[in-house]
Amino acid sequence: MEPVRRRRAVLHEARCQTCSLSSLCLPLSLEMEDMDQFDAIIRRRAPLKKGEHLFRQGDDFTSVYAVRSGSLKQITSEGAGVDQLTNFYLPSELVGLDAIDERHYPGSVIALETTTVCEIPFDRLDQLSEKLPELRNQLYRSMSKELRDDRRMMRLLSRKTADQRLASFLVKLSDRFRRRGYSPYSFRLSMPRADIGSYLGLAVETVSRIVSRFQAQEILAVSGREVQILNMAKLQQFAEEEDVS
Amino acid sequence: MEPVRRRRAVLHEARCQTCSLSSLCLPLSLEMEDMDQFDAIIRRRAPLKKGEHLFRQGDDFTSVYAVRSGSLKQITSEGAGVDQLTNFYLPSELVGLDAIDERHYPGSVIALETTTVCEIPFDRLDQLSEKLPELRNQLYRSMSKELRDDRRMMRLLSRKTADQRLASFLVKLSDRFRRRGYSPYSFRLSMPRADIGSYLGLAVETVSRIVSRFQAQEILAVSGREVQILNMAKLQQFAEEEDVS
DNA sequence: CGTTATCTTGAACCTTGTCAACACTCGTGG
DNA sequence: CCACGAGTGTTGACAAGGTTCAAGATAACG
């Protein structure tokens, strides 16, 4: 979905000040001059191709990453068990905040499509956050937001039915697209059904069945990974409705 | 020679430097003089009685709280749905980090027994974290750790059977007691079964049944809320074992 | 000592997982 | 350009784990 441009030319575009995501990303509240300082610690990385690892579970923690384009998934394997998909990352979101404490990444992060990221070495970020209260604050906020999202996810996993989970997932995704300037009603899923299932704690078959059912109910129109939301109200209703038993 | 300390006599015990939790709590890595600065921003609070709110969902965020003694639960209500218990807090743990972003607490926090907390006004903490890199780092780490724990919880909720959930819960709890200097084999649950069920995404009845089964298997000896772990190895095995189907 | 909350146990039901088979898609090489 | 094959997605039948409903036992508390 994302055009792969040759890099030389892109490099100057890769500055925070000209980045279209600057209103969502970490430096969002910085003044111009502060942003320059922030910009200076960023390392640009070659785009990841679909399926490539940004890092692997257990790798030494050195940096957090801001997604510039594309999308990634985080996968955690524990013991002899099946892998669990613990997060999807879209542009402007920060990857790796859960590794600060233990100094290695608690899960592997893999590109779902061609993806570019900005690498932010954490020790430099920490230093800079000392000088720039706005940056520090933004960092606290990012982590706090992730905590809140996690709680919402726990709620989903422990209390919602399969229908409600998928509805919630789609509503949330739609909202994230909207915030990024894309259509909230028509988008492409970059992940296979199996990943959605793993994320939502459902079997692939269940995901598939519910997608079909939502189509039958004319809530969605789906063709492969292309999704159209036909009845957002209904979908939201599904998503929010709890077991009103 | 003993230096003359300025102190409010009543609160003498409540100073970080003499707090038995200092090796686990937020100021854990601070030097003496830095700890004084930290100590100065703390507000002591009257103990909460069982069932009392530390704050309610939606209240304005002003402070994070460190638990000194006792325990608390966090409850989130969303929409018209049933409440969901999203966290238990034990001594030295930080309450309220998930509120930084939105400036309101995303859930109510309620004492499970008589509980004392240290109130840490967040704006003061933020200012101080500018001057004290160790403190800042500890704050990042606390949040990061919580993120990691959340991921583990999601994994539990989406992939583990009821037996595995309860086993995980008890192993984790045991470990938390051990770290705090209490027996990891014999302790008292401060929360009712219903809370455990809500936290683990299970019906109360299921929790009860499994407790009974674990007793029959001589893994536990339970009398009301008093728990003894008779076979820790077995319990851990249960907890870690994934669906090896 | 009674009243209420908490906990336990049993039985029926239901949602979702599992197994199995088949359809579709896409990229690769012949 | 087509054929093939692996990966991905769909659908059905069945089993199982967990919820729900119901009732009783126990513990907590004024």
Mean pLDDT of A79-93: 87
A137 and A198 in one domain? no
A170 and A50 in one domain? no
The domain tally of chain A equals: 2
Max mean pLDDT among A31-35, A171-175, B82-86 falls in A171-175
Burial class of residue A218 in the structure, from the number of CB atoms within 10 Å of its CB (0-12 exposed, 13-18 middle, 19+ buried): exposed
User: H or E element: which one contains B3?
Assistant: none
Mean pLDDT over all residues of chain A?
90
What distance in Å separates residue A99's CA from the closest CA in chain B? 6
Candidates A98, A153, A171, partner chain B, best to mutate (most B CBs within 10 A) = A98
Judged by C1' against the alpha carbon of A160, the nearest nucleotide is C15
B182 and B149 in one domain? no
> Strand C: which of residues 141-200 in chain A lie with Cβ below 7 A?
161-163
8 Å CB contact of A158 and B157: yes
Structure confidence at residue B174 as a pLDDT band (50, 70, 90)? very high
Distance B213 CA to D26 C1' (A): 18
Query: Could you tell me the CATH number of the domain that includes residue B194?
Result: 1.10.10.10
Residue owning tokens 């500018």:
B130
The closest CB to that of B154, out of A140, A154, A242, belongs to: A154
- Residue of chain B whose Cα is closest to the Cα of A85: B155
Return the percentage of chain B with pLDDT > 70, whole number.
92
Write b or e for each residue in A52-65: b if 16 or more Cβ atoms lie within 10 A of its Cβ, otherwise e.
eebbebeeebbbbb
What distance in Å separates residue B127's CA from the closest CA in chain A? 8
Residue owning tokens 């209260």:
A133
8 Å CB contact of B82 and A242: yes
- Residue of chain A whose Cα is closest to the Cα of B144: A98
Q: What are A148-166's pLDDT values in tens digits?
A: 999 999 999 999 999 999 9
Of B78 and B57, which is predicted with more confidence? Answer: B57
B123 and B36 in one domain? yes
Question: B78 to chain A: which residues are within 8 Å by CB?
Answer: 152, 155, 240, 242
Distance A95 CA to C9 C1' (A): 47
Structure confidence at residue B9 as a pLDDT band (50, 70, 90)? very low
Q: What are phi and psi of A66, to 5 degrees?
A: -105, 130
Distance B160 CA to D8 C1' (A): 26
Q: What are A212-235's pLDDT values in tens digits?
A: 999 999 999 999 999 999 999 999
pLDDT at B242: 59
Q: What are phi and psi of B197, to 5 degrees?
A: -60, -45
pLDDT at B81: 64
Q: Which two tokens stand for residue B73?
A: 């639960």
pLDDT above 60 (res B244): no
| Cβ atoms within 10 Å, residue B107 | 26
Residue at which a domain ends, from B156, B180, B206: B156
- Distance between CA atoms of residues A173 and A202, nearest Å: 17
A148 and A42 in one domain? yes
Residue at which a domain ends, from B156, B179, B201: B156
Structure confidence at residue B142 as a pLDDT band (50, 70, 90)? very high
- The verdict on residue B76 lying in a domain is yes
A133 and A227 in one domain? no
Mean pLDDT of A62-79: 93
- The verdict on residue B221 lying in a domain is yes
- Distance between CA atoms of residues B169 and B156, nearest Å: 9
What distance in Å separates residue B9's CA from the closest CA in chain A? 35
Mean pLDDT of A104-110: 96
A149 and A169 in one domain? no
The closest CB to that of A99, out of B142, B144, B241, belongs to: B144
Question: A153 to chain B: which residues are within 8 Å by CB?
Answer: 150, 154
- Helix H, strand E, coil C: the string for B97-163 is HHHCCCCECCCEEEECCCEEEEEEEHHHHHHHHHHCHHHHHHHHHHHHHHHHHHHHHHHHHHHCCHH
- Distance between CA atoms of residues B77 and B54, nearest Å: 16
- The verdict on residue B189 lying in a domain is yes
pLDDT at A182: 93
8 Å CB contact of B101 and A243: no
CA angle B133, B139, B144 (to 5 degrees): 125
- The verdict on residue A230 lying in a domain is yes
- The verdict on residue A93 lying in a domain is yes
pLDDT at B5: 47
The upper half-sphere exposure of residue A231, i.e. CA atoms within 13 Å in the direction of its Cβ, equals 12
pLDDT at A44: 87
A135 and A215 in one domain? no
Nearest protein residue to the C1' atom of C9, measured from CA: B209
Secondary structure (3-state) at B89: strand
Distance B44 CA to D28 C1' (A): 31
pLDDT above 50 (res A9): no
Mean pLDDT of B138-144: 95
A212 and A140 in one domain? no
A130 and A22 in one domain? yes
Distance B97 CA to C10 C1' (A): 43
Please give the residue range of the domain that contains residue B177: 161-240
A143 and A169 in one domain? no
pLDDT at A80: 64
Of B15 and B53, which is predicted with more confidence? Answer: B53
Mean pLDDT of B31-48: 91
pLDDT above 80 (res A47): yes
A28 and A148 in one domain? yes
Strand C nucleotides where any atom sits below 7 Å of a protein CB: 6-11, 15-20, 25-26
Instruction: Decide: B89 and B146 in contact? Cβ < 8 Å.
Output: no
Instruction: Decide: A94 and A125 in contact? Cβ < 8 Å.
Output: no
pLDDT above 70 (res B238): yes
Instruction: Return the C-alpha torsion angle B157, B160, B165, B169, nearest 10.
Output: -70
Q: What are A108-142's pLDDT values in tens digits?
A: 999 999 999 999 999 999 999 999 999 999 999 99
The reported pTM is 0.91
Mean pLDDT of B115-133: 95
pLDDT above 90 (res B29): no
Write b or e for each residue in B65-75: b if 16 or more Cβ atoms lie within 10 A of its Cβ, otherwise e.
bbbbebbbbbb
Closest C-alpha among A142, A153, A98, A168 to residue B86? A153
Structure confidence at residue B131 as a pLDDT band (50, 70, 90)? very high
Structure confidence at residue B1 as a pLDDT band (50, 70, 90)? very low
Write b or e for each residue in A7-39: b if 16 or more Cβ atoms lie within 10 A of its Cβ, otherwise e.
eeeeeeebebeebebbebbbbbebeeebbeebb
Residue at which a domain ends, from A117, A140, A156: A156
- Residue of chain B whose Cα is closest to the Cα of A87: B151
- The verdict on residue B245 lying in a domain is no
CA angle B179, B181, B184 (to 5 degrees): 70
The closest CB to that of A86, out of B80, B151, B244, belongs to: B151
Contacts of B136 (CB under 8 A, 6+ apart): A126, A129, A130, A136, B129, B130
Structure confidence at residue A107 as a pLDDT band (50, 70, 90)? very high
Strand D nucleotides where any atom sits below 7 Å of a protein CB: 8-13, 17-22, 27-28
Q: Which two tokens stand for residue A98?
A: 């859960």
Query: Could you tell me the CATH number of the domain that includes residue B62?
Result: 2.60.120.10
pLDDT at B80: 63
Q: What are B179-226's pLDDT values in tens digits?
A: 999 999 999 999 999 999 999 999 999 999 999 999 999 999 999 999
The closest CB to that of B153, out of A154, A241, A244, belongs to: A154
Write b or e for each residue in B39-50: b if 16 or more Cβ atoms lie within 10 A of its Cβ, otherwise e.
bebbebbeebee
pLDDT at A128: 95
pLDDT above 70 (res A58): yes
Distance B202 CA to D19 C1' (A): 9
- The distance of Cα A153 from the centroid of its chain, to the nearest Å, equals 14
- Distance between CA atoms of residues B149 and B12, nearest Å: 34
